[in-house]
Amino acid sequence: MHNFNAGPSILPREVLQEASQALVNFNNSGLSILEIGHRTPLFEDVLNEAVALVKELMQLDAEHEVLFLHGGASTQFMQAPINLLNDNETAAYIDNGVWGSKAIKEAKLFGNVDVVASSKDKNHTYIPKDFIVNPASKYLHITTNNTVEGTQWHRFPETDVPVVADMSSDILSCSLDFNRYALIYAGAQKNMGMAGVNLVVINKSILGKVNRKIPTILDYQNHIANGSMLNTPPVFAIYVSLLTLRWIKKMGGVQEIEKLNEAKAKLFYDTLDSLPVFKGTVAKEDRSLMNAVFVMEDPALERAFLDQCKKENLYGVKGHRIVGGFRVSMYNALPIESVKVMTDVMKEFCLQYA
């Protein structure tokens, strides 16, 4: 089986094995991970270690807090502006894909939005580069990797405005100075765990500056004060994230994971560009290392290629319904051997139909 699903997506085999054991007997306690109390030492140890590993892998400074929250990235489209933006203030947003557009829609409910750049004119197949961020903006919001359109930021905007980043689909996949971000949020189900939990990394200095009343459960400061246990946390999802974070560290940390991701992407894109049957849809300099999006020169061949992928046990290759074509997701846990199988299948298909 070769799992190219865009999310929820592939997990390391050892993570699945250990998690499955914990479903029956967690840490030899005789209890399932699904039935332990979240305020018992059994789970407190899990949460504390997960937080510590995030801080270590991201090399975070003392100003940044780590939270594990419910709701996924879609909740953060709303939670970020409600905490950071007053009604009469303006935040800068970049519209470079489906998820950025959704974030803009939610932010407009809580303040003014200045869309400083957009790639909509070319169906979000590139990353905007020449734009100006008003220094009076409360923050700049970007989506670092776009799972639907297959683009990724490889050079981040230089600005003195606090940066808020949705890193749901490339978190811990490449080396970054994570301390430069005022707020990072990421659904875990692509690179650091299973669906059901959202990582939030936040610089405490940006909080407490809005004059609106924030519902208790939406206030970041409340979650920080309660150590991600303001309400019952998603226990099993956090545990799977812990196992995945351990695996990343075992693999050599983010720097070594980045090398593997670059090798996988190079193998795939070099193959794609060499085959006349297939065509990439994204500007080459903005291609995602996580999600390769491509189409057929002859759309009539799409069904045949999907059938061939199914025959070879290549799963999750069909493109997002909005853009069509194909999508090969190469997240942290995907071994390069799976990419080799995919490229071999593409070459064989090309020999048959070119």
Q: d(Cα 85, Cα 82) in Å, to the nearest integer? A: 6
- Considering 223, 250, 277, which residue would you say is the last residue of a domain? 250
Is the same domain home to 127 and 264? Answer: no
**In this structure, are residues 100 and 143 in contact, taking their beta carbons and an 8 Å threshold?**
yes
Tokens for 135, please give them: 């220094």
Residue given tokens 């490449």 in the structure block: 174
317, pLDDT greater than 90: yes
Is the same domain home to 43 and 93? Answer: yes
Is the same domain home to 245 and 258? Answer: no
Tokens for 312, please give them: 């070879």
Q: Decide if 120 is catalytic.
A: no
Predicted local distance difference test score (pLDDT) of residue 68: 98
Is the same domain home to 104 and 226? Answer: yes
Q: d(Cα 211, Cα 74) in Å, to the nearest integer? A: 24
308, pLDDT greater than 80: yes
Q: Decide if 99 is catalytic.
A: yes
For the chain, how long is the longest CA-to-CA vector?
65
Q: Which residues pair with 112 in a beta bridge?
A: 90
**What mean pLDDT is predicted for residues 150-162?**
95
Strand residues in the chain grouped as ranges (E)? 2-3, 64-69, 90-95, 112-118, 140-143, 145-146, 151-152, 163-166, 183-187, 198-203, 278-280, 291-296, 314-315, 326-329
- CATH number of the domain bearing residue 93: 3.40.640.10
| Catalytic site residue from 138, 190, 264, 318 | 190
219, pLDDT greater than 80: yes
Is the same domain home to 216 and 328? Answer: no
| Domain extent at residue 346 | 2-7+254-353
184, pLDDT greater than 90: yes
353, pLDDT greater than 90: no
Strand-strand pairing, 90-95 and 140-143: parallel
Is the same domain home to 289 and 168? Answer: no
Q: d(Cα 138, Cα 125) in Å, to the nearest integer? A: 28
- Considering 219, 250, 281, which residue would you say is the last residue of a domain? 250
Q: Is the dihedral of CA 117, 120, 121, 125 positive or negative?
A: positive
**In this structure, are residues 221 and 213 in contact, taking their beta carbons and an 8 Å threshold?**
no
**What mean pLDDT is predicted for residues 121-135?**
95
Residue given tokens 């169906």 in the structure block: 123
**What mean pLDDT is predicted for residues 323-327?**
94
Is the same domain home to 100 and 194? Answer: yes
The mean of the pLDDT values for the chain is 97
Is the same domain home to 307 and 242? Answer: no
Is the same domain home to 156 and 278? Answer: no
Predicted local distance difference test score (pLDDT) of residue 270: 98
What are all long-range contacts of 301-309, with beta carbons under 8 Å and residues at least 24 apart?
A: 301/277, 301/353, 302/326, 304/349, 304/353, 305/349, 308/345, 308/348, 308/349, 309/345
Domain count, the chain: 2
Is the same domain home to 222 and 322? Answer: no
- Considering 250, 269, 300, which residue would you say is the last residue of a domain? 250
**What mean pLDDT is predicted for residues 273-292?**
97
Is the same domain home to 266 and 228? Answer: no
Number of neighbouring beta carbons within 10 Å of residue 331: 27
Which helix (H) or strand (E) is 22 found in, with range?
Answer: helix 13-24
98 SS3 class: helix
293, pLDDT greater than 80: yes
Number of neighbouring beta carbons within 10 Å of residue 290: 30
Is the same domain home to 189 and 206? Answer: yes
In terms of residues, how long is the chain?
354
354, pLDDT greater than 90: no
| Catalytic site residue from 95, 99, 138, 286 | 99
| Catalytic site residue from 95, 166, 170, 219 | 166
Q: d(Cα 29, Cα 114) in Å, to the nearest integer? A: 53
Query: For helices 235-250 and 253-274, what crossing angle results, to 10°?
Result: 80
- CATH number of the domain bearing residue 301: 3.90.1150.10
Tokens for 66, please give them: 């780590």
Residues 58-106 have pLDDT tens digits of 999 999 999 999 999 999 999 999 999 999 999 999 999 999 999 999 9
Confidence of residue 5 (pLDDT cuts 50, 70, 90): very high
Number of neighbouring beta carbons within 10 Å of residue 225: 10
Q: d(Cα 179, Cα 295) in Å, to the nearest integer? A: 38
Residue given tokens 């090969």 in the structure block: 328
Q: Decide if 347 is catalytic.
A: no
215, pLDDT greater than 90: yes
**What mean pLDDT is predicted for residues 207-234?**
97
